[in-house]
Chains A and B, each alone.
Chain A
Amino acid sequence: DTGVSQDPRHKITKRGQNVTFRCDPISEHNRLYWYRQTLGQGPEFLTYFQNEAQLEKSRLLSDRFSAERPKGSFSTLEIQRTEQGDSAMYLCASSSTRASHNEQFFGPGTRLTVL
């Protein structure tokens, strides 16, 4: 049973460029979450999917951020016109509706540096 995978693991980009990250959840997990984490802080919720439906999106998320999960399997998170404040670790987590309390398991994260 493989865990959650994320690609790339590191991304360095220049301000104003677009970036896209991919997350592959644990195979039988139908819920998928994206979080952002900065140094010294806990993960901050960005958005989550149940199957292919995006059920909630943080009000803190600007319209430069978009996420998709087209077939209910892998998901992508795109950031358009990146800013230096977007530099952070982007974490993906997955869980199953069959888990009674929705335990989440995290991938290794994508560390984004915006120059």
Chain B
Amino acid sequence: QKEVEQNSGPLSVPEGAIASLNCTYSDRGSQSFFWYRQYSGKSPELIMSIYSNGDKEDGRFTAQLNKASQYVSLLIRDSQPSDSATYLCAVRRNFNKFYFGSGTKLNVKP
């Protein structure tokens, strides 16, 4: 079983719609959760972090965490073509070790 699982996609949404990206993790001891955006050929860019159950909003982005279900999600409101990228979910456990999912590719169609 992988530490972090993501649907590889691609997830296609029309411009202006809400994109919903999901991630599950295997270790209940995971402490912090992160979403990174990665454009093709570029390195990952941190966009959101969440540590407590519930929702955390930052601009058009909302991260949701449910530790009981070992589930993390990222909602992108008013999706733009510039949001088209691969979104990586990462979890931190064992204090300072990070595990990444394989990413979900998002396509936002104009």
Contacts from A to B (Cβ < 8 Å):
31, 33, 35, 40-45, 48, 50, 55-56, 89, 91, 101-109
Contact = CB atoms under 8 A, between A and B. Distances in A.
Nearest to B89: A42
The majority secondary structure among interface residues of chain B is strand
Contacts, number: 57
Q: Which 8 A-B pairs have the closest CB atoms?
A: A42-B100, A101-B32, A106-B43, A109-B43, A43-B100, A42-B102, A106-B44, A108-B43
A42 B49 contact: no
Given A91-B43, A101-B49, A40 B92 contact: no
Interface of B: 4, 8, 31-32, 34, 36, 42-46, 49, 51, 88, 90, 92, 96-103
A40 B100 contact: no
Given A42-B4, A42-B88, A108 B100 contact: no
B86 to A, nearest CB: 9
Nearest to B8: A40
